[in-house]
């Protein structure tokens, strides 16, 4: 941490800051310039993070130098992590594809969807049994019956099931049915939920919050790893900006950044990331080219009848073409559709 | 709802859209222009909200005309709502002031804080027993012991207690100690938690999510009212923007907007809204001038020793001056510090 | 400036950075921690700003400590500046009010507007002769004839004229008619234009760019002062965010920030800042309460006939009420409508 | 255009709106619902755009149905446009690559850069002779001497020259040296400049403003085409968001959107779009995969010595690798590095 004192800071204020820091067991390095003094702080990261220096008299600003996360960082583990989900790998040379409807609506809809995405080459079936919806009057999901249908679809197709868990109480129940637990964007900083899935033995897919910085996202993952669960994959799904042509602005630079600072895998959801089915295929190709380890794609047998997110769902035919196109890009990069 | 067809939409696509809408029991009004056809949809709001028209062939875009919330709207209840919290009113001619430390840190700190804010004229003591923190390694709060201290401070001072509840499981426990339940910004779309406090009999303070539109915020409140709890007040606390001088951008226009579209009261938190104690007093005055029904202010006996949010906490003296200044503004508007 | 080296930076990379800095005539202070080395740089601000250190091997990041602007800062001039515009002061104890139509549309409309705003107590007439419009097919202004009408309105009422200049070539012409030159939001970083008005002898009203940080805004003003023109006032007019209820998000914390870091006055434009006439009055009151030195308000004799920005223009009666309300707030703060 | 009346709108207000619209020569279609009336407006787009309906009594909101741009749209010209720049095509099956230093710094630096990028396969040399800089004290470019060096580099290598023009007065001068005129992000809505390059006979590269919506960007291009110059290419270079890891957030969905709504070509600048050289290669690959017609890349013989934007410039070796990688992606899509 670096403390920048005000230009006119009094000596007594400087002394108090130095006293506060050294009493906490940390070391200081003073750089006294013509205009102002700068104090470098060296020592244990967790102790530094607790220091309330910015509120002290004479302090202009405090600059963090080291990140507040540790277990998720490449400094902690330089080589790529590969997550195992029931025999399927996420983060190796393969590309993991998770596809299916936004919401589980009925047995017929789900089984048909599952067979379509299996046929096209996906390894995971996605589909929400619990749906977070802006309005209380919108369809909220089939709940446990939806989970049962997902498990049935797994029996039918062999696809692994990834589905959202929305609260601490449901972690046990959802874990009975799912192969991978999804934390949705609105819950990225639901810290009790992060801790709860951190104590479960299921792999976790952590979506980025719609206004979350990459640093906050890494810290959210740190909550999970800190509880002992190291099987975490990130999912970029767009951030909120002023642009209103798309539902969100898909931030593909996040893929390259996560690859640089963390050892954990990252996949991309261009369906929520754009909100428009016409953009899903080009953005899926771009995601793979940027280095993503997988894709999450909304596919519906009949998007015009979907109970949620129809406008961003692909038809079966569009999804097949997406798989062929992204496989070609992956091959160029020395990867294959897992 | 208005459906805008593509310029080159085929007749069969138009026919299908009309069929889909009328089969749902809704009425259509066609406007056929030279370039394109526009379809107005009339009928029950909830049925309209469920229609997946945007995914149909030939449709360019769908424009919502009516809001998806109802109970929170001024159309539903034209006169201002006044929330009762243990005999204190929020939303009438008085200005409600909630003040205290960010986090409950110790008995000494809390009792001292409570006496300071009581003395200066606040009616509510704020203070977190459970703290949502970006990093898992930061101070997370005293939990139930913190709640006990808050209750003790109420005994000592007569101040009402407002404190955050972070998960469904804790709603019962926090309700035993608090007079008003706070839903934090990160949980504004934690729908299970919204439903849970909606089923409690405690008044709720609903903070705005850091990337929440005003429409989403109103819908979040609708979740609470829809469960039967009508004692809800909004709290503007800044939104996330590109500006990095402040921690958030305090959106005071939200005050005037909420007053226009909803009957519920709204207060403002300039401490989180700016993140800088120097800005708290001018923004508190501005909030009252904009029409806010109250303020939430971080006050700490010694900000430089605070375990969280020291840089945005006021000293006791600064808080006293804030109270005097805002009282003068309130008086001009025909209001008083309640 | 502070240079943070990577944790694994080699000694030779550190040496090269130090060599580069010292060769530029600057001093370094090394803080060698367990994990990484931090280098503080001390010396002439302009030389530091030119150093391309961030691209050197082994460097993780570079943190600026001192601002890149100087003449606009309070460090340079601690006391408030008062701008003189034809005998009217901006920045003293008075509140300057600039009002009038968005665009000059006709002699009748402008003279009527001028008399209305004069009558209600404004000191400045605003009105665009050149209008920056998103679409090339929208009304672009009356150009020089508009300027002539503004001058005529000044003769009629004694109001000072503030109007936008959109390009370098027009600075001379607009200066012949106007008392104060306005730089619009879209031109805040049109550096040639900033330099041109910096070389003119007219006071300048510098609107904030819609995505400009406060730091960039201060630097834009620095361009003007650096050419010798110290008569600059800022105008906050809203920034672009994800919120779509309002046209922009009015950032009133910018008022308090500018007052802290700069000696120059700042006024607020709640008409563009919200885009909705219903919000103009509450936001005008809030702006004054936050410490603004003035207001810019769109007033139109008949908003429903305005050729631009009708939805955000006040009727004459609404404007009169705004003046009375803000005068009451100003009085509380020891200020008067100038 | 669609007019949504307030739920309680009076008949007289409805009548006035209808009268206003029909007097302008437009047709109305009324949809009278139980709660409110909706009015569809049909007729000439330019007349509709001028109507100030939103300010009329009883009107809740106005929804634009058709875009305000025309010449840039695919409706106006369904097939892709191919821009010719001195024999090089932008927008066909080839990928156009523009590379070189951020700023022209010296003959040696520019000639070396030109030979490097030529060697690696680029067709265009980029480099600024006039540099828009946040601070007036930063390097502002070599001006006309810089242009002369660019022309000399063209002689040497055969590369086409693309360089920024910052003001109307310089359009003639820059046109004498450049093959393509670049409009920078800060000038995207400098409408006088847009008109001036629209009257020149040089192809134009129009960068996206850092807070510009795609709709505003299309309108900015419309200004140029409306003056008779149809040789316009877009350049996505990142937008401003809350994320601070990168300098800007590169919005690759803009590529797919522009391809859908416009016939004009679009290239991507991942150097400014991220601000970090480590992200340039993955984002360049992603841009091509998303369908971009070209790339603009900052390359510097020695980034650590660059006078501007060193941290985002590639070394010669990195640029060669980028060219090889993107060529492989392009080949998969049936395109070649032009």
Please spell the DSSP secondary structure of A203-236, one letter per residue.
Answer: -EEEEPPTT--HHHHHHHHHHHHHTT---EEEEE
CB contact under 8 A, A249 and D250: no
**B117 pLDDT above the threshold of 70:** yes
Nearest CA in chain A to B183: A190
Distance CA B16, CA B22 (A): 10
What kind and span of H or E run contains B37?
A: strand B37-42
On whether the CB atoms of residues B115 and B156 are closer than 8 A, the answer is: yes
What tokens were used for C213? 């940080």
> CA torsion, points B258, B262, B266, B272, in degrees to nearest 10?
-50
DSSP state of C105: -
Q: Are A57 and A96 within one domain?
A: no
Residue B296 Cα to chain centre, angstroms: 12
CB contact under 8 A, A282 and D291: yes
State the pLDDT at residue B49.
67
Nearest CA in chain C to B284: C290
Q: Which domain holds residue A190?
A: 83-337
Q: pLDDT per residue over C35-70, tens digit each?
A: 778 888 877 766 776 677 877 888 888 877 777 899
Reported ipTM: 0.92
> Does any domain span residue C169?
yes
> Which residue do the tokens 């508007």 mark?
B333
Q: Are A59 and A87 within one domain?
A: no
Q: Are D17 and D91 within one domain?
A: no
Q: What is the mean pLDDT of residues C254-271?
A: 97
State the pLDDT at residue D41.
82
Which residues in chain D have Cβ-Cβ distances shorter than 8 Å to A282? Answer: 253, 255-256, 259, 289-291
Q: Point out which residues pair with B125 in neighbouring strands.
A: B99, B161
Q: How confident is the model at residue C221 (pLDDT cuts 50, 70, 90)?
A: very high
Give the contacts of C288 (CB within 8 A, at least 6 positions apart): B289, C95, C295, C326, C329, C330, C333, C335
State the pLDDT at residue B5.
85
CB contact under 8 A, B20 and A304: yes
Supply the Cα-derived Rg of chain C in whole angstroms: 23
Please spell the DSSP secondary structure of A150-198, one letter per residue.
Answer: HHHHHHHH--EEEEE--SGGGHHHHHHH-SEEEEPGGGTT-HHHHHHHH
Q: Are B254 and B332 within one domain?
A: yes
Nearest CA in chain B to A193: B167
B243 at the C interface (CB within 8 A)? yes
For A83, counting Cβ atoms within 10 Å of its Cβ (0-12 exposed, 13-18 middle, 19+ buried), the class is buried
Q: Point out which residues pair with A89 in neighbouring strands.
A: A84
Using alpha carbons, select from A159, A220, A156, A157 the residue that is nearest to residue A193: A220
Q: What is the mean pLDDT of residues B210-232?
A: 97
C244 at the D interface (CB within 8 A)? no
Nearest CA in chain D to C305: D52
Write the residue in A244, A256, A283 that is nearest to D282 by C-beta: A256
Distance CA A211, CA B240 (A): 7
DSSP state of B183: E
Nearest CA in chain D to C225: D136
User: Which chains reach chain D with 3 or more Cβ–Cβ distances below 8 angstroms?
Assistant: A, B, C
Strand ranges for C88-243 from DSSP E: 88-90, 94-100, 124-126, 160-164, 180-183, 204-207, 232-236
For A23, counting Cβ atoms within 10 Å of its Cβ (0-12 exposed, 13-18 middle, 19+ buried), the class is exposed
Distance CA C120, CA C324 (A): 9
Compute the count of residue pairs across chains A and B with CB atoms less than 8 Å apart: 130
- Closest CA–CA distance from residue A4 to any residue of chain C (Å): 7
> Which residue do the tokens 């009002």 mark?
C99
- Closest CA–CA distance from residue A36 to any residue of chain C (Å): 9
Nearest CA in chain D to C54: D311
State the pLDDT at residue A201.
93
Using alpha carbons, select from B222, B230, B228, B223 the residue that is nearest to residue B203: B230
- In this predicted structure, which of A297-301, B5-9, D61-65 has the lowest mean pLDDT? D61-65
State the pLDDT at residue A255.
98
Q: Are D152 and D12 within one domain?
A: no
Interface with chain B: mutation pick from C289, C325, C327, C329, highest number of B CBs within 10 Å: C289
State the pLDDT at residue A304.
81
CB contact under 8 A, B252 and C289: no
> Which residue do the tokens 């749209």 mark?
D73
Nearest CA in chain D to A291: D282
What tokens were used for D181? 């005129």
Residue A299 Cα to chain centre, angstroms: 21
Give the contacts of C144 (CB within 8 A, at least 6 positions apart): C129, C173
D9: domain CATH number is 3.30.70.1140
CB contact under 8 A, C190 and D191: no
Q: Are A119 and A36 within one domain?
A: no
User: Which chains reach chain C with 3 or more Cβ–Cβ distances below 8 angstroms?
Assistant: A, B, D
Q: Are C142 and C13 within one domain?
A: no
Residue B174 Cα to chain centre, angstroms: 19
Q: What is the mean pLDDT of residues C189-212?
A: 97
C288 at the B interface (CB within 8 A)? yes
Which residues in chain C have Cβ-Cβ distances shorter than 8 Å to D219? Answer: 134-136
Q: Are C21 and C169 within one domain?
A: no
On whether the CB atoms of residues A223 and A196 are closer than 8 A, the answer is: no
> Does any domain span residue A71?
no
B255: domain CATH number is 3.20.20.70
Which residues in chain B have Cβ-Cβ distances shorter than 8 Å to A190? Answer: 167, 186-187, 190
Nearest CA in chain B to C286: B286
- Closest CA–CA distance from residue D60 to any residue of chain A (Å): 21
> Which residue do the tokens 């109007």 mark?
C163
- Scan residues 173-232 of C and list those with Cβ closer than 8 Å to B: 211, 213-215
Q: Are D188 and D221 within one domain?
A: yes
CB contact under 8 A, C168 and D166: no
CB contact under 8 A, C42 and A65: no
Distance CA B114, CA B120 (A): 10
Which residues in chain A have Cβ-Cβ distances shorter than 8 Å to D246? Answer: 253, 257
**C99 pLDDT above the threshold of 80:** yes
Distance CA B188, CA B192 (A): 10
Mean residue pLDDT across chain D: 92
> Which residue do the tokens 């001192």 mark?
C66
Distance CA D97, CA A331 (A): 24
CB contact under 8 A, B189 and A186: yes
D57 at the A interface (CB within 8 A)? no
State the pLDDT at residue D270.
98
CB contact under 8 A, A328 and D332: yes
Q: Point out which residues pair with C266 in neighbouring strands.
A: C234
Using alpha carbons, select from C244, C330, C338, C256 the residue that is nearest to residue C290: C256
Q: Are B58 and B87 within one domain?
A: no
CB contact under 8 A, D305 and C166: no
Long-range contacts of the stretch B116-119 (C-beta < 8 A, 24+): B116/B299, B116/B301, B116/B316, B116/B319, B117/B159, B117/B299, B117/B319, B118/B157, B118/B158, B118/B159
> Which residue do the tokens 């309209």 mark?
B48
What tokens were used for A195? 């801790």
Compute the count of residue pairs across chains A and C with CB atoms less than 8 Å apart: 45
Give the contacts of B335 (CB within 8 A, at least 6 positions apart): B93, B94, B95, B288
> Does any domain span residue A36?
yes
Distance CA D285, CA D283 (A): 5
> Does any domain span residue C98?
yes
> Does any domain span residue C173?
yes
Q: Under DSSP, is residue C155 helix (H, G, I), strand (E, B) or coil?
A: helix
Cα C125-C126-C131 angle, rounded to 5 deg: 155
On whether the CB atoms of residues C59 and C53 are closer than 8 A, the answer is: yes
State the pLDDT at residue A9.
85
Q: Are B113 and B11 within one domain?
A: no
Write the residue in B213, B245, B252 that is nearest to C213 by C-beta: B245
> Which residue do the tokens 């024999």 mark?
D87
Q: What is the mean pLDDT of residues B113-128?
A: 97
Distance CA B278, CA B311 (A): 9
Using alpha carbons, select from A190, A192, A195 the residue that is nearest to residue A207: A190
**B97 pLDDT above the threshold of 80:** yes
Which residues in chain B have Cβ-Cβ distances shorter than 8 Å to C241? Answer: 239, 241, 249, 251
CB contact under 8 A, C255 and B285: no
Which residues in chain B have Cβ-Cβ distances shorter than 8 Å to C246? Answer: 253, 257
> Which residue do the tokens 């070649």 mark?
D336
Using alpha carbons, select from B70, B71, B51 the residue that is nearest to residue B62: B51
Q: What are phi and psi of A291, to 5 degrees?
A: 110, 10
Q: Are A95 and A194 within one domain?
A: yes
The pairing of strands C94-100 and C294-298 is: parallel
Q: How confident is the model at residue D49 (pLDDT cuts 50, 70, 90)?
A: low
Using alpha carbons, select from B213, B181, B167 the residue that is nearest to residue B98: B181
Q: How confident is the model at residue D25 (pLDDT cuts 50, 70, 90)?
A: confident
Using alpha carbons, select from B331, B332, B326, B334 the residue that is nearest to residue B121: B326
Work out how many domains chain B is built from and give that number. 2
Q: pLDDT per residue over B188-207, tens digit each?
A: 999 999 999 999 999 999 99
- Closest CA–CA distance from residue A145 to any residue of chain D (Å): 36
Give chain A's residues under pLDDT 70.
34, 45-46, 49-50
On whether the CB atoms of residues C21 and C47 are closer than 8 A, the answer is: no
Q: What is the mean pLDDT of residues D154-169?
A: 96
> Does any domain span residue D74?
no
- Strands of B37-42's sheet in order across: B27-32, B37-42, B2-5, B59-63
> Does any domain span residue B74?
no
What tokens were used for D234? 């877009």
Distance CA D320, CA B100 (A): 60
Looking at chain D, how many residues does it have?
338
Interface with chain C: mutation pick from A5, A26, A27, A33, highest number of C CBs within 10 Å: A33
Using alpha carbons, select from C180, C128, C178 the residue that is nearest to residue C154: C178
**Backbone region of residue B314 per phi and psi (left: phi > 0; alpha: psi in -120 to 50; beta: other values):** beta
Distance CA D18, CA B270 (A): 45
pTM above 0.80, yes or no: yes
> Which residue do the tokens 């798989």 mark?
A323
- Beta carbons within 10 angstroms of residue B91's beta carbon: 20
> Does any domain span residue A178?
yes
Interface with chain A: mutation pick from D69, D252, D321, highest number of A CBs within 10 Å: D252
**D283 pLDDT above the threshold of 90:** yes
What tokens were used for D216? 């505003």
On whether the CB atoms of residues A153 and A125 are closer than 8 A, the answer is: yes
Which residues in chain B have Cβ-Cβ distances shorter than 8 Å to C239? Answer: 241-243, 249
């Amino acid at each position: 941490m670096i403390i920048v004192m005000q230009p006119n800071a009094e000596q007594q204020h400087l002394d108090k800051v130095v006293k506060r820091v050294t009493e906490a067991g940390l070391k200081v390095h003073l750089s006294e310039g013509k205009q102002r003094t700068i104090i470098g702080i060296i020592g244990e990261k967790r102790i530094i993070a607790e220091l309330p220096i910015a509120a002290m008299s004479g302090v202009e600003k405090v600059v963090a130098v080291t990140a507040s996360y540790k277990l998720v960082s490449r400094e902690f583990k330089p080589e790529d992590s590969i997550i195992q989900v029931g025999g399927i790998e996420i983060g190796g040379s393969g590309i993991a594809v998770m596809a299916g409807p936004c919401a589980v609506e009925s047995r017929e809809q789900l089984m048909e969807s599952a067979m379509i995405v299996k046929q096209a080459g996906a390894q995971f079936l996605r589909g929400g049994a619990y749906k977070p919806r802006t309005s209380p009057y919108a369809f909220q999901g089939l709940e446990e019956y939806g989970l049962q249908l997902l498990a049935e679809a797994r029996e039918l197709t062999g696809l692994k099931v990834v589905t959202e868990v929305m609260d601490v109480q449901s972690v046990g129940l959802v874990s009975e049915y799912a192969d991978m637990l999804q934390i949705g964007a609105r819950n990225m900083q639901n810290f009790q939920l992060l801790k709860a899935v951190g104590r479960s033995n299921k792999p976790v897919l952590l979506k980025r919050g719609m206004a979350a910085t990459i640093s906050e996202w890494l810290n959210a993952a740190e909550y999970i790893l800190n509880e002992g669960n190291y099987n975490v994959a990130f999912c970029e799904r767009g951030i909120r900006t002023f642009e209103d042509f798309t539902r969100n602005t898909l931030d593909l630079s996040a893929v390259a950044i996560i690859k640089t600072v963390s050892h954990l895998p990252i996949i991309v959801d261009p369906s929520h990331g754009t909100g428009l089915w016409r953009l899903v295929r080009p953005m899926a190709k771009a995601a793979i080219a940027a280095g993503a380890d997988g894709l999450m794609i909304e596919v519906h047998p009949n998007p015009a009848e979907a109970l949620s997110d129809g406008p961003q769902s692909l038809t079966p035919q569009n999804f097949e073409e997406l798989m062929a196109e992204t496989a070609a890009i992956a091959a160029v990069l020395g990867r294959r559709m897992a």
